[in-house]
Structure 1
Amino acid sequence: MLLLGIDIGTSSIKLAIVDAQTQQTIVSAQYPEEEATILAPHQGWAEQDPELWWAHTQQAFALCKKKANFQPLDISAIGIAYQMHGLVLVDKDQKLLRNSIIWCDSRSVQIGNKALNDIGENYCLKHLLNSPGNFTASKLAWVKENEPECYAKIDKMMLPGDFIAMKLCSSISSSIPALSEGVFWDFQSDTLSETLMDHYGFDAKLIPEIKPVFSEHGQVSSSAAALFGLRPGIPLSYKSGDQPNNALSLNVLEPGEVAATAGTSGVIYGISDQLTYDSQSRVNTFAHVNYTEKEKRLGILLCINGTGSMYRWAKSLVAPGISYSEINTAAKRIDVGAAGLRIFPFGNGAERMLNNQIVGAQIENIDFNLHNSPHLFRAVQEGIAFAFRYGLDIMRSNGLQPKVIRAGKANLFLSELFLEAFVNSTGVPVELYQNDGSVGAALGAGIGAGIYKDAAAAFTLIKPLQLVEPSLESSYEPVYQDWLNQLKLKITNNQSCN
């Protein structure tokens, strides 16, 4: 019995075929090989075409079939993980109305700020656990205000994973975690927030049917089954945002457990059983995949928009013909602190942990006679690690005190230098796993389809690959404090300019 996991990422679509009995991956693939394009019609905007996600899903599945000998007819359930906070709009015929406004788009920040003032900070933080910010609800309000003809045609608003589920099953659904990540959910009443919906003038009919995360969200249609060689009628039994799904795939489900990723964006995601919130909404609280009315499980999410994207940008600019492994080796030869070079990786839209400011990515203290490309790549990795430390300190001030952070051995966590900078900057050990979002989605499908009796049963074979602990004689703290002081100046100058 096989399970299919689909991860709708910003950079690519990743697929995994997992043997349900052994919990082992039969084959995985991603498409495209190079990073997918983010469309930026204006500064601070970010869009993608959902039809390309669907095309890339088919191409990734074709790659799986080329790479391994498995029978698509043996696939018994499908799970989907997806980039969070995006907005996808379709009409009554399930036709796409516009490109998706994705997670790092900043155009609706002011709309969200106005909603915070009009609705009231007390209500937003206690009921929504967040400021409306530039989350999905505010993106929808932007469309209503700026594209009224498009808005008038909307039958359903969706998140990115809902669109791929619709293409597979011809049905549309949502969940409490999905609506909470769009800041539509009232945690005090455990219902759709009438206050927010009324403020923005949204009709509740725009919201899809709400189903549990681990449940049947539809059955694969005959037409979709023919595209992939699947059996018609198999269930799509799991949908989750990428960060809750990453936590699931690392078996991070209970209060005090913490996961991290460092892909296009950087995330620390901790579990709480309290309806907690940050007074400035710099970190955000959403319903976790195992949230229920009786057993609250909340995910506290720190997001840094520009981590892997910063590293990719530096590589493509300075060393396009060199592998990341070679870059990391060269950078590791440079001493801690990169000879004074400081990098601030905030060039991918408004940063929530910086109070939704657009500070921009910046490089400081360049010395033409001293610094070379290895210095630059060391400073990039240190700057990203310092951004994680900055955000983790915010989470600590809100009560999260991780003793260990679990992460998949992927993306920046493949770099020994980054790992060293991360654990010594944060002071928290990192436990590395062979982890992939598409594998987590596949196992989530097994939970939702009843193949596993619960989440614990789906991860009985998960074992850590490596534990990386902070050094007792770390030299990172003074470098971080210098970086922090410079960041504070940048934030102050940015506020005075605005």
Structure 2
Amino acid sequence: MYYLGYDIGSSSIKVATVEALSGKKIITLQEPNEEMEIVSPHSNWAEQDPEVWWKHICIVTKRAIHGANIDASKIQAIGISYQMHGLVIVDKEGKPIRNAILWCDSRAVEIGNKAFNEIGTAKCMEHLMNSPGNFTASKLKWVRDNEPELYERIYKYMLPGDYIAHKLTEEIVTTKNGLSEGILWDYKNNNSADWLLEYYGIDNGLTPEIVNNFSNQGTVSDSAAKETGLPKGIPVTYRSGDQPNNALSLNIFNHGEVAATGGTSGVIYAVIESLNSKETERINQFAHVNYTEEKPSIGKLLCINGAGIMYRWLRNHGIDNSYENMNRKASKIDVGSNGVSVIPFGNGAERMFNNRTIGTHFCNLNLNKHSHGHLYRAALEGIAFSFVYGEILKNDHDAINVIRAGNDNLFRSEIFSNTVATLIGHEIEIYNTTGAIGAARAAGLINGNFIEFGENIIKNDHVTTYMPLKNIESYAHAYEHWKINLERLLNY
């Protein structure tokens, strides 16, 4: 028997199949091979057609069934991980009315800031645990204000994962976890934040029915079966935003446990059991996958939009077309990159700068002495420094017991991992898992046995542990040099 998991990213769609009993990986694939286009009709906008996600779901599902050489009738359940904070709006037929507005789209920043100021810090933090910020609710308000003819056609709004579940099952439902990611969940009253929608002038009837994120959320329909090659009737039993799901994939469920991600964006995601926060805007709080009213497990998220996308940009526009070559050249350069600093924040507004758009900057580049290797190392260091900057999350978190990361993206680089571990002063455990594998395994978690689930991950997936290096002085000096360049920009 098997479980199937999807990870719906803005770069690609990933799928994994695992053995139901052991959680052992059978196959992982992604579609397409090249990254999906992000449409940006205006500065700091980011959109994608949800039907493109579905097209790639269908292609990669057929590839996975064929490549794994399994009997698809033995797939017992499906789990879905998805890019957070996005907005998909559909009509009564369940068809998208416009492109999805993505997580990194900054058009609603001022709408969220205005709401935060008018509603007040106390109420927002007590009920929402966040500023409305640049999240799903504020993006929906933007549609109401700027595309009224489209707003009038809306039947339901959804998160990206809700839309893919709908395409699979023909059901339109969401979860409290998903609503919390869109700043649409009221923690104090334990229901959807209808009052925020009313403040925005939005009909709260647009909110889908709420289901548990570990439950039967619908079964594969006849039409979806024909398009994907899956048998009709397989239940969708799990959905989660990508960062809570990445934490689940790394066995991060308890207070003091931290998951780190170095993908297109960089994320530090720490679990606590408290509904209080010292940070009101730069860090965000979401209901973790195992959140209950009785045991409020909260994921505190520090997101850095400009992270892996910086290193990818260098690959796509440089002479080296592989990360392996780039890492090899970077490894020949000393810590500090001989004075070169890369400020990597070129992917929209950054929450840790109170939603300012800083941009990407190359500082102190000397055309007579610096090479591609210096740029590569400076980029890796600059992204690592952004994880450490200000220790915002550490200041808002009373215990860090363990830090874990997946063996993919930036954490495959020793330079990056060593820099973060050394400056944070804490070891980082690396695991051979992915969001799609985590979603597949989580499809079997209806029983809620998180302890056994986590023990299997620790036993089977651990790859290595990066320890803080002893020569911290060179790293600390490079970090201070980088901060000087950053703060010049912040104070400009």
Query: With structure 1 as the length reference, what TM-score do the two structures score?
Result: 0.96
Give the structure 2 partner of residue 37 of structure 1. Answer: 37
Q: Structure 2 vs 1, CA of residues 230 and 84 (structure 1 numbering), >3 Å: closer, same or farther?
A: same
Give the structure 2 partner of residue 329 of structure 1. Answer: 328
Give the structure 2 partner of residue 461 of structure 1. Answer: 456
State yes or no: 1:118 paired with 2:154: no
User: In the aligned structure 2, how far is the partner of 1:447 from the partner of 1:150?
Assistant: 38
User: In the aligned structure 1, how far is the partner of 2:145 from the partner of 2:278?
Assistant: 29
Q: Residues 34-433 of structure 1: matches in 2 within 5 Å?
A: 34-319=34-319, 321-390=320-389, 393-433=391-431
> 190-199 vs 286-295, which deviates more?
190-199
> 418-427 vs 25-34, which deviates more?
418-427
Q: Structure 1: which 5+ residue stretches go unaligned?
A: 494-498
One-letter amino acid of the structure 2 residue matched with residue 219 of structure 1: T
User: In the aligned structure 2, how far is the partner of 1:217 from the partner of 1:335?
Assistant: 52
Give the structure 1 partner of residue 439 of structure 2. Answer: 441
**CA distances 1:321-372 after superposition (whole Å, capped 9, x unpaired):** 5321111011011000001000111000000011100010111001001111
How far apart are 1:490 and its partner, in Å? 1.0
User: In the aligned structure 2, how far is the partner of 1:434 from the partner of 1:171?
Assistant: 33
User: In the aligned structure 1, how far is the partner of 2:229 from the partner of 2:325?
Assistant: 40
One-letter amino acid of the structure 2 residue matched with residue 470 of structure 1: P
User: In the aligned structure 2, how far is the partner of 1:99 from the partner of 1:19?
Assistant: 36
User: In the aligned structure 1, how far is the partner of 2:456 from the partner of 2:84?
Assistant: 28
One-letter amino acid of the structure 1 residue matched with residue 479 of structure 2: Y
* Percent of matched pairs sharing the same residue: 49
Tell whether the 8 Å contact from 2:269 to 2:302 is kept in structure 1 after alignment: yes
One-letter amino acid of the structure 2 residue matched with residue 221 of structure 1: S
One-letter amino acid of the structure 1 residue matched with residue 354 of structure 2: N
One-letter amino acid of the structure 2 residue matched with residue 294 of structure 1: E
One-letter amino acid of the structure 2 residue matched with residue 473 of structure 1: N
One-letter amino acid of the structure 1 residue matched with residue 56 of structure 2: H
How far apart are 1:127 and its partner, in Å? 1.4
How far apart are 1:275 and its partner, in Å? 0.7
**CA distances 1:246-299 after superposition (whole Å, capped 9, x unpaired):** 000111001111101101111000001001234341010010011011111000
Tell whether the 8 Å contact from 1:280 to 1:355 is kept in structure 2 after alignment: no
Three-state SS of the structure 1 residue aligned to 2:3 is strand
Tell whether the 8 Å contact from 1:4 to 1:75 is kept in structure 2 after alignment: yes
How far apart are 1:317 and its partner, in Å? 1.1
User: In the aligned structure 2, how far is the partner of 1:323 from the partner of 1:197?
Assistant: 46
One-letter amino acid of the structure 2 residue matched with residue 297 of structure 1: S
User: In the aligned structure 2, how far is the partner of 1:68 from the partner of 1:397?
Assistant: 46
Tell whether the 8 Å contact from 2:129 to 2:280 is kept in structure 1 after alignment: no
Give the structure 2 partner of residue 492 of structure 1. Answer: 491
How far apart are 1:43 and its partner, in Å? 0.4
Tell whether the 8 Å contact from 2:84 to 2:159 is kept in structure 1 after alignment: yes
Tell whether the 8 Å contact from 1:91 to 1:153 is kept in structure 2 after alignment: yes
Give the structure 2 partner of residue 496 of structure 1. Answer: none
User: In the aligned structure 2, how far is the partner of 1:68 from the partner of 1:286?
Assistant: 35
User: In the aligned structure 1, how far is the partner of 2:457 from the partner of 2:300?
Assistant: 23
User: In the aligned structure 2, how far is the partner of 1:287 from the partner of 1:62?
Assistant: 33
Tell whether the 8 Å contact from 2:268 to 2:302 is kept in structure 1 after alignment: yes
Three-state SS of the structure 2 residue aligned to 1:174 is strand
User: In the aligned structure 2, how far is the partner of 1:35 from the partner of 1:276?
Assistant: 38
One-letter amino acid of the structure 1 residue matched with residue 358 of structure 2: V
How far apart are 1:155 and its partner, in Å? 0.6
Tell whether the 8 Å contact from 2:260 to 2:405 is kept in structure 1 after alignment: yes
User: In the aligned structure 2, how far is the partner of 1:472 from the partner of 1:421?
Assistant: 11
Three-state SS of the structure 1 residue aligned to 2:14 is strand
> 220-229 vs 456-465, which deviates more?
456-465
User: In the aligned structure 1, how far is the partner of 2:398 from the partner of 2:299?
Assistant: 11
How far apart are 1:487 and its partner, in Å? 1.3
**CA distances 1:123-160 after superposition (whole Å, capped 9, x unpaired):** 11221111111100000000000000100010100000
User: In the aligned structure 2, how far is the partner of 1:41 from the partner of 1:283?
Assistant: 28
User: In the aligned structure 2, how far is the partner of 1:224 from the partner of 1:428?
Assistant: 46
Three-state SS of the structure 1 residue aligned to 2:268 is strand
Give the structure 2 partner of residue 2 of structure 1. Answer: 2
How far apart are 1:71 and its partner, in Å? 1.3
Three-state SS of the structure 1 residue aligned to 2:125 is helix
How far apart are 1:403 and its partner, in Å? 3.8
User: In the aligned structure 2, how far is the partner of 1:403 from the partner of 1:341?
Assistant: 34
User: In the aligned structure 1, how far is the partner of 2:156 from the partner of 2:337?
Assistant: 50
Three-state SS of the structure 2 residue aligned to 1:130 is coil
Q: Structure 2: which 5+ residue stretches go unaligned?
A: none
Give the structure 1 partner of residue 28 of structure 2. Answer: 28
User: In the aligned structure 2, how far is the partner of 1:459 from the partner of 1:67?
Assistant: 28
Tell whether the 8 Å contact from 2:136 to 2:182 is kept in structure 1 after alignment: yes
The ranges of structure 1 where at least 4 consecutive aligned residues each deviate by more than 3 angstroms after the TM superposition are none
**CA distances 1:297-331 after superposition (whole Å, capped 9, x unpaired):** 00000100111111000111113x53211110110
**CA distances 1:368-422 after superposition (whole Å, capped 9, x unpaired):** 011110000000000000000016x001111244243100100111111111112
User: In the aligned structure 2, how far is the partner of 1:192 from the partner of 1:278?
Assistant: 24
How far apart are 1:113 and its partner, in Å? 0.7
